[in-house]
Amino acid sequence: MLETLDLKARLGNKACREAMDRLELELPILHRAILEHGIPVLVLFEGWFSSGRGDSIGQLVHHLDPRATRVHVTHASSEEDRRRPWPWRFWRRTPARGRIEVFDRSWYYLLWNQHDEGSLDAARWERELQAVGEFERQLVDDGTALVKCWLHIGPGEQKRRLKAWAKDETQRWRVSDEDWKRHRAYPRRLALAEEMLARTHTHRAPWTLIEAEDENHRRVRVLAAVAEAMRHALEQRGIPVPTPELLPDAAEAGHPLEPIVVADPLKAPPPIPPDSPLARVDLSRRLERDEYAKRLKKAQARLRELEFLCYTRRLPAVVVFEGWDAAGKGGAIRRLTESLDPRGYAVVPIAAPTAAEKAHHYLWRFWNEIPKDGHWAIFDRSWYGRVLVERVEGFAGEAEWRRAYQEINEFERALVSHGTVVVKLWLHISPEEQLDRFRRREQSPLRRHKISAEDWRNRGKWPPYLAAVSDMLRQTSTTHAPWTVVEANDKLWARVKVVETVIRAIEARL
């Protein structure tokens, strides 16, 4: 199969830009439909070392909703993994309905290496290939959209890349002796890969083979493959597939969008009490677009370096995003993660607790999600829900939320004491700015799903929320884990401040 690939394939910058523009519109729309209809999606990336898996995964997740997406790095097996049948580690991570799980390496890498190293004899190799087929068929039969991408480069190109990395101080750690050994065994490993691909290229779980020597070509092919798989999964279920062309047109042509709620329940925004930590926040802070672009680019590049450094020095970090509805948390998180290697961090979205979560201590689910050494966890909302929404809405009793300040401080101290960097960001906007953003969301067909009657209802509770936020900032801003209030009336200012704050906190620890 692989000999059919044209490794000379190149895509010019202009053609690439055009294709990407279209995909960037298409992917979020498709993902929304996938979410809405509860379709599980599993995307796996295989191929040669240095073929651009990391970059492809970064490109991909950047266009997906981080609340329903997760990247799994599976090339290393743990002691727990080795003591069970190999499917165990992958089954555990199979997507729930509506989720996209992205695998960097998979069962293929495991079997490819084991066979290459001689720890799978011929009979076992046969059995395991059959087991792969069974595993994939079971997932597909159950409705999972399975996308298998093989990134292909030739031995010459691989050598060139390994050498370039070995020369670059920030990349050198990526190349091990093992990688060079495998590079020298390229022909033998190619034959094995050929057999493995051919045997597992089935009607219902086909491979997408991607020429990966040209970066433009690879990026477009990867995104297109995933978009195509999502579209196919929707079509199979008879769901009309939204296209970026149709959507805005239909909206403009005679379907003026009605506001969801006409009256604003927060008539006259009350002044912030002078003893609140929010009273002295200067919401007029702003950035011009030129300066924004310059500073953001610089900060993102630095952040990527810090991600590598944290990984090599095994420093974990936790970044907490809290803020008013429509304060721009999602956009800020996207800017923070845009340049990062998705294998080094996870975005953890926090919604209402599940039944299992409700049956435990409220900190239980957060303990479950803390990052391991060398990794970052970015919380989109967090344990502070206990003293914000749960307090205001009465989901937690007064004794419970009053106790929570101490519990949270203790929780964060346990993280810091282990060596974790903890960054906590409160995105602050004025009630007037919030009203403006709500109205604009209602009028945008692409962003209308982001606002509901509940948002308007919450807005009516601005004063009790203000009291809760003020208490939270006063009681949980500790030396080991201080709060940073981000002035967010201007999104450009807010995004740069977020990235720069994270950089400063990590640099202080390194």
Instruction: Give the binding range for its own copies (CB under 8 A) out of 29-37, 55-63, 90-98, 430-438.
Output: 90-98
**Least distance (Å) between residue 116 CB and its own copies:** 20
Q: What is the DSSP letter of 424?
A: E
Pick one of 122, 268, 352, 359: the residue that binds its own copies (CB under 8 A): 359
With contacts defined by CB under 8 A, how many residues of the chain interact with its own copies?
Answer: 53
Q: Could you say whether residue 14 binds its own copies (CB under 8 A)?
A: no
Site string for its own copies, 150-179 (x = CB under 8 A): ------------------------------
385 token code pair: 């829900």
Cβ-based nearer residue to its own copies, 412 or 471? 412
Cβ-based nearer residue to its own copies, 85 or 187? 85
Q: Report d(CA 329, CA 427) in Å as an integer.
A: 7
Helix (H, G, I), strand (E, B) or coil at 285: coil
Burial classification of residue 32, based on how many CB atoms lie within 10 Å of its CB (0-12 exposed, 13-18 middle, 19 or more buried): middle
Q: Which residues contact 42 (CB under 8 A, 6 or more apart)?
A: 94, 95, 100, 101, 103, 139, 144, 145, 146, 147
Q: Report d(CA 488, CA 427) in Å as an integer.
A: 6
Phi, psi angles (nearest 5°) of residue 427 = -90, 115
**Least distance (Å) between residue 412 CB and its own copies:** 11
> How many CB atoms lie under 10 A from the CB of residue 123?
8
Site string for its own copies, 68-87 (x = CB under 8 A): ----------xxx--xxxxx
Helix (H, G, I), strand (E, B) or coil at 72: strand
Q: Report d(CA 207, CA 380) in Å as an integer.
A: 34
Instruction: Give the binding range for its own copies (CB under 8 A) out of 47-55, 134-142, 256-264, 429-437.
Output: 134-142
Cβ-based nearer residue to its own copies, 297 or 361? 361
Instruction: Give the binding range for its own copies (CB under 8 A) out of 168-176, 204-212, 230-238, 360-368.
Output: 360-368
Pick one of 237, 249, 312, 364: the residue that binds its own copies (CB under 8 A): 364
Instruction: Give the binding range for its own copies (CB under 8 A) out of 7-15, 20-28, 50-58, 367-375.
Output: 367-375
- Give the Å distances, CA to CA, from 29 to 15, 230, 255, 278, 393: 22, 10, 19, 37, 33
First to last CA, the chain: 47
Instruction: Give the binding range for its own copies (CB under 8 A) out of 176-184, 305-313, 411-419, 488-496.
Output: 411-419
**By the criterion CB under 8 A, which residues form the site for its own copies?**
38, 40, 78-80, 83-88, 91-92, 94-98, 127, 131, 134, 138-139, 141-142, 144, 314, 316, 354-356, 359-364, 367-368, 370-374, 403, 407, 410, 413-415, 417-418, 420
